[in-house]
């Protein structure tokens, strides 16, 4: 199976959906911030590994704690994923902190500030 095949894209979407449901509803770890979202998932073509890009809306300490809590609950998450998705292999999940949403919000704020300063000088 190639990396960008239709089957791989469908598997990525299904794993993303199930992973989001598991993190949102089934993990009771207090370290995991309530505003945690799964941005994207990349399952390897052989279904052995999976990179899950996680975004946390909070300070740097909340982000570190959330990633630590998710890494600690990886076995539980993988077993739930195996029950919910029927795949030949259940991939090993690697959690990666994705700061693209936070970067976008920061850039939007900076643009708004520049626009406000431009209107003041007119």
The pLDDT assigned to 98 comes to: 87
How many helices (DSSP H) and strands (DSSP E) are in the chain? 4, 3
Categorize the per-residue pLDDT at 87 as very low, low, confident or very high, splitting at 50, 70 and 90: confident
Q: What average pLDDT does range 35-59 have in this prediction?
A: 91
Residue range 62-84: average pLDDT? 92
Q: Which residues of 87-113 are buried (b: 16+ CB within 10 A; e: fewer)?
A: eeebbebebebbeeeeeeeeeeeeeee
Contact at 8 Å (CB) between 23 and 70?
Answer: yes
Q: What is the pLDDT of residue 122?
A: 62
Q: What is the pLDDT of residue 121?
A: 67
Q: pLDDT band at residue 103, thresholds of 50, 70 and 90?
A: confident
Query: What is the pLDDT at residue 49?
Result: 94
């Amino acid at each position: 199976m190639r990396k960008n095949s239709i089957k791989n894209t469908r598997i990525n979407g299904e794993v993303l959906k199930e992973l989001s449901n598991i993190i949102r509803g089934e993990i009771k770890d207090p370290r995991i911030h309530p505003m945690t979202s799964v941005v994207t998932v990349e399952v390897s073509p052989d279904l052995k590994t999976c990179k899950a890009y996680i975004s946390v809306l909070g300070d740097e300490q909340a982000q570190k704690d959330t990633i630590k809590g998710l890494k600690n609950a990886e076995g539980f998450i993988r077993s739930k994923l195996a029950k919910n998705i029927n795949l030949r292999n259940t991939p090993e999940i690697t959690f990666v902190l994705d700061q693209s949403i936070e970067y976008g919000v920061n850039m939007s704020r900076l643009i708004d500030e520049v626009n406000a300063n431009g209107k003041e000088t007119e």
